[in-house]
Structure 1
Amino acid sequence: MTEATQSDNPNDIDSLSTLKIQAVSGNLSPSIYANGRNQLPIEITAKAVNKDGNPLKFSNNTWISILNLCFAESDKKLNRNGNSGWCFTEVENQYSKEIQLGSHRSKRFLSGEDGTAIIILYVYTDDINTKRIAVSVDTPNGKHFTTADIHSGAEKMSVTVAAIQQIIYRKNMLTITPIYELEKGVNKVIYSDGYTREFDCHYDNYYITIPLPIINAIAHGYGNGTTYPKWICAYDKQSNNQHMIVAHPDNTKKGTETFGFEGRATFLGLDSGARFDLTKKVTFSEHDNAICFTQIAFQTGGNAWRLNDGQCLSNFVPYAFDTWFELFDIYGNYGKFNVQFTDDKLYIKITDRYK
């Protein structure tokens, strides 16, 4: 079968010699999560003929325009591209996976020489229920063909789809694996008179997983401005050590990169002439299928120097951003969490985010 190269007029349809529906997987009782994102790929096979019995050939767009998915018991149409209830679309998303049977992307639109076409549509819903889904063809001039129970002249056929309770991830469902004190090193401040003060630094990686594979994650609450956009939270604790958290939400990106900042220190708003280095080379996302957060700790100590307010860390004005992240599993199930420091500002703390 090949893609159609011509398109007849759907108003010329006299009958459908073929109209069939099934889950792409062939499963007679497929399941999806009722989260409005998880899609079930539905395969429709159709062949239309005119009054002379000759097959009609339509493009994919034409078939899409006249095809509808409907409830088998009532023949009532599902919402095309809807936002609630039982819906269908021709647009595949990244959560198009039948539960336990994975993704099915091998077939798109195919059209045979005899006019037989295979079209894929996608069912999704936020309604926890089980529904029998049929298919109909509705032409611009008002003709209606359906595989629903109330049909006439076509084979009765439907797919029984179970939409089950979505998973909303909470903190107790996360597996958090910290790896502490990686690559200990030494950074420094160089004063205008040439005096150099060194201080220890290291970083910790926190790896977060859930029971199902994570397909997408997004971090929010990055540092203000665009100068240092890669860190999401920073704090100077009371002992004047400097800490920051860096997000690596892309769990497919493994690498090594330098984070942090350097510049000139100020005293009481005046340039001290001292140059500081609060950068650290970090290796991250080394664990498969895990979101990674890095906490970088600079053991600066003392209060003899401060960084530029409004752009970097400050000994006197710690940053307190509303920092959080959200994640989606392969079926579109969702969770969102705050990412903060523990009360002693030594470690990362993950908590549920309800707002």
Structure 2
Amino acid sequence: MPTWTSVSRLSVVLDSGGERGTVYANGRNRIGVTISVEPTDEDGHALDVDPQHLLSRLWLIDYADESALGWNGSTGWSYTDAPNRFTAAPAGAPSDDGGGRKITFYVYCGPAAVDPKSIGVRVRTDSGDTFTSSLNGAYHDRVTLEPRAAVTYRKGDVAWEYARTATQEGDNTKYVTTDAWNYRLSLKSADNHFVTFSVSGHFSDSGYDGFFAADIPPEDRHRNFYGGYVWYQEPHGSAYFSSSDGHSLGQIVNFPEGNEWWDYATIYEQNDPDRYLCLTWVHATTVGDGWHIPNGPLGSFKESFNPQIAAYDRYGNTGTFWVDGSDLTGGLTLDDHRP
């Protein structure tokens, strides 16, 4: 059986097109780098090598000194064999160099990377022979990535918009009148957007998942309920989709004990639901002797979390915000995270 002893082709190119690109130095932004290699036997004939075996014999290296980049590293220049949510290049279009077996790695770097990095490739054949595409190698293809400083988003960089939304029991006002408003947190950018959110600080009980604050003031015999909800599950629209009416619904005003009342708000009603985070503010007024406590996770007439929201853009840049759950009577307030 022929042995893999050499290569007739060894090249490297950015998936985004060309030989030069940029990467955000945040440890999350990954840039696809595709290696083209043509294995040959001792007679120079092309061999069909299993892709997984080929992958195990390839390394990305510094083009100048041939030192290896870190494999799945946590510092410096590193690479891996899997894309993530932030695999996106700031510019460019897919490129195809037209030949060879292709293996794609994904390069990333942390904040300590400040200088451009020229990247080549090393391959070791089954015979133990090593070939490189490097400054002093047999081949000379390379890609160069320039690190961009990581971006930290602040309140001024985001849109915080709100509008009234429908509720399932909106027309049923015999016992309860409910007004609900959806708030949308999104990135103010023409060519970028948030792709994922991480939210902490809310109830997770069944029927109350995402509920983070309630205020039932003593005025008017506890008849007014103010509530805040954050709809953090992903993917946003489909995570809450109800086939019964074709809407994404979030459960609100859930008082099964005493009041025997619960409702649902229409959420993620705008286009591109995965590009924004939806929260809902509710003001519900009941008749009779007011809202009953305890109910669900509520053991008192005023309880709250202050949800912390980490929002990530296409390139892994992030901003951290918080919503004040302690004062609900006028709506929901967003601010920069306070350490």
TM-score by length of 1: 0.78
Secondary structure of the corresponding residue to residue 64 of structure 1? helix
In 2, Cα distance between the equivalents of 1:264 and 1:333?
A: 44
Other-structure match for 2:67 = 76
After superposition, the C-alpha distances for 1:187-220 in whole angstroms (9 at most, x for unaligned) are 67xxxxxxxx834221011112102222112332
Other-structure match for 2:179 = 202
Other-structure match for 2:296 = 311
Residue 119 of structure 2 corresponds to residue 133 of structure 1: yes
Among 138, 141, 145, the alignment partner of 2:131 is: 145
In 1, Cα distance between the equivalents of 2:54 and 2:229?
A: 48
Other-structure match for 1:20 = 11
Identity %: 22
**CA contact under 8 A between 1:307 and 1:313: conserved in structure 2?**
no
Equivalences, count: 318
After superposition, the C-alpha distances for 1:88-141 in whole angstroms (9 at most, x for unaligned) are 111122221111337x5x98xxx98xxx31111111111233110111113466
Q: Give the drift of 1:46.
A: 0.6
Secondary structure of the corresponding residue to residue 302 of structure 2? coil
Q: Give the drift of 1:35.
A: 1.4
Other-structure match for 2:244 = none
After superposition, the C-alpha distances for 1:226-276 in whole angstroms (9 at most, x for unaligned) are 3422423333345442122222344544734251213223xxxxxxxxx34
**CA contact under 8 A between 2:306 and 2:325: conserved in structure 1?**
no
Q: Give the drift of 1:68.
A: 0.5
In 2, Cα distance between the equivalents of 1:178 and 1:281?
A: 14
Among 255, 259, 281, the alignment partner of 2:251 is: 259
In 2, Cα distance between the equivalents of 1:86 and 1:52?
A: 37
Q: Give the drift of 1:313.
A: 4.0
Secondary structure of the corresponding residue to residue 270 of structure 2? coil
**CA contact under 8 A between 1:220 and 1:232: conserved in structure 2?**
no
The alignment's C-alpha RMSD in Å is 3.0
In 2, Cα distance between the equivalents of 1:233 and 1:100?
A: 42
Residue 50 of structure 2 corresponds to residue 59 of structure 1: yes
Other-structure match for 1:97 = 88
- Considering fraction of residues, name the structure with more strand: 1
Other-structure match for 1:234 = 214
User: Is the alpha carbon distance of 1:336 and 1:207 closer, same or farther for their aligned partners in structure 2, counting shifts above 3 Å?
Assistant: same
One-letter code aligned to 2:292: L
In 2, Cα distance between the equivalents of 1:258 and 1:214?
A: 21
Q: Which moved more, 1:33-42 or 1:335-344?
A: 335-344
User: Is the alpha carbon distance of 1:224 and 1:120 closer, same or farther for their aligned partners in structure 2, counting shifts above 3 Å?
Assistant: closer
Instruction: List runs of 5+ in structure 1 lacking aligned partners.
Output: 1-7, 189-196, 266-274
Other-structure match for 1:193 = none
User: Is the alpha carbon distance of 1:324 and 1:139 closer, same or farther for their aligned partners in structure 2, counting shifts above 3 Å?
Assistant: same
**CA contact under 8 A between 1:186 and 1:198: conserved in structure 2?**
no
In 2, Cα distance between the equivalents of 1:187 and 1:238?
A: 25
Q: Give the drift of 1:354.
A: 4.8
User: Is the alpha carbon distance of 1:292 and 1:101 closer, same or farther for their aligned partners in structure 2, counting shifts above 3 Å?
Assistant: farther
What pairs with 1:1-355 in structure 2 (closer than 5 Å)? Answer: 12-101=3-92, 116-126=100-110, 127-139=113-125, 142-151=128-137, 154-180=138-164, 185=170, 198-210=175-187, 211=189, 212-237=192-217, 239=219, 240=222, 241-249=224-232, 250-253=235-238, 255-257=247-249, 259-260=251-252, 261-265=254-258, 275-288=259-272, 289-300=275-286, 304-309=289-294, 311-313=296-298, 316-341=300-325, 343=327, 345-355=329-339
In 2, Cα distance between the equivalents of 1:263 and 1:50?
A: 74
Which structure's CA Rg is the greater one? 1
User: Is the alpha carbon distance of 1:242 and 1:32 closer, same or farther for their aligned partners in structure 2, counting shifts above 3 Å?
Assistant: same
In 2, Cα distance between the equivalents of 1:208 and 1:28?
A: 36
**CA contact under 8 A between 2:39 and 2:49: conserved in structure 1?**
no
Secondary structure of the corresponding residue to residue 35 of structure 1? coil
User: Is the alpha carbon distance of 1:141 and 1:319 closer, same or farther for their aligned partners in structure 2, counting shifts above 3 Å?
Assistant: farther
In 1, Cα distance between the equivalents of 2:328 and 2:104?
A: 55
**CA contact under 8 A between 1:41 and 1:121: conserved in structure 2?**
yes
One-letter code aligned to 1:25: S
**CA contact under 8 A between 1:205 and 1:295: conserved in structure 2?**
yes
User: Is the alpha carbon distance of 1:354 and 1:76 closer, same or farther for their aligned partners in structure 2, counting shifts above 3 Å?
Assistant: farther
Secondary structure of the corresponding residue to residue 55 of structure 2? helix
